[in-house]
Structure 1
Amino acid sequence: MGIKSFQGQRAEPEKIQSAPILVKDYMCHSLITFSKDDPLIKVIETLMKNKISGAPVVNERNELLGIISDGDCMKQISENRYYNIPIGDRRVEEFMETNVTTIDKNVNIFDCASLFHKHDCRRFPIIENGKLIGQISRKDILCAAMKLRAQNWHC
């Protein structure tokens, strides 16, 4: 008895076509946001209560003005302690980051992952017609990757 070999034509494996997985598939629509006039202490309390690291700052028309993060708050706490100045009535607009990179909801999540690496940020606001419609975070990308792994990646 020997090894039998099939000498016929080999069938090519079937390629499964799937639609790209986009930012809109994993973005968060329900956001905690702040106003530029909110007190910094409110931001700190809200970030802690909701276990988030930052949030968009919007105006009354839901247009993005900036991002306020736990890092912005930490910097202020550190500086105020150094100079022995209470946080008091300090407002979001004094500390928020206004140079914010946004992303389109139709970007592929793999391209979005590359943008996170390139920009070294934790979240991208998503704007449509000038309004904030959502946000995607690094955690959202990780969730998408794990879901894909379960479906497609073979280790």
Structure 2
Amino acid sequence: MKPQPAPNANELMTAVPHTVTPEMRLADVIAFLVRHDLASVLVARNENSKKELLGFISEGDCLEHLSNELFYGAPMPIQTAATIMKRHPLCVTTDTDIFALSSIFVSHNYHYLPVIDGKFLVGMVCRSDVLRLLDEYYRRWVKLREDERTSIDVHEIMNHRFLVKS
């Protein structure tokens, strides 16, 4: 019996992640994060009923810009999602397998990864979901290995050892 293929991002992504628009003001982005109990949010623009991914904003980005604004004074122009976001976030596709996802999460210490199809956002993958699915995959793999084990026939081994060819 062969093991099942490794799961991929399509099997565990959240299909409709929270997004903000690039025009949203910093204060509104912070209110959005607090209201939805999020640590980060994607910035996207609607294009023909699809969402074009533009960037990524974390709580840390908001802290930095809000504290700078409070300490140094209000910048001109007013800060928006477009002015504070990190552009070109690391993304994955729906067919990125669980081992590649694990590697990215470990190497970069990310908690979330956007899932894209071309330039359009199709979902979001969470590190804890990858861990959960990888654990399930591991448990199926261990069970498969245990099911394949058979009892050793000591007589057969001994007979092979003492066969003499003439």
TM over 0.5: yes
Which of 89, 114, 118 is residue 107 of structure 2 equivalent to?
118
Report the residue type matching 1:54 in the other structure: S
Q: Give the alignment of 1:8-19 within 5 angstroms.
A: 15-19=1-5
Corresponding residue for 1:60?
46
Cα deviation for residue 101 of structure 1 reads: 1.1
Which of 127, 134, 137 is residue 148 of structure 1 equivalent to?
137
Corresponding residue for 2:67?
78
Corresponding residue for 2:147?
none
Where structure 1 has 5 or more consecutive residues not aligned to the other structure, the ranges are 1-14
Q: Which has the larger radius of gyration?
A: 2
Cα deviation for residue 75 of structure 1 reads: 0.7
Report the residue type matching 1:102 in the other structure: C
How many residues are aligned here?
139
1:34-58 C-alpha deviation (Å, 9 max, x unpaired): 1110111121112122221111111
Asked if 1:47 corresponds to 2:27, the answer is: no
Cα deviation for residue 64 of structure 1 reads: 0.8
Report the residue type matching 1:37 in the other structure: E
Where structure 2 has 5 or more consecutive residues not aligned to the other structure, the ranges are 144-166
Corresponding residue for 2:152?
none
Higher helix share: 2
Q: Which 4+ residue blocks in structure 1 deviate beyond 6 angstroms?
A: none
SS of the residue 1:51 aligns to:
coil
Report the residue type matching 2:55 in the other structure: G
Report the residue type matching 2:30 in the other structure: I
SS of the residue 1:118 aligns to:
helix
Identity %: 23
Change (3 A) 1:153 1:17: closer
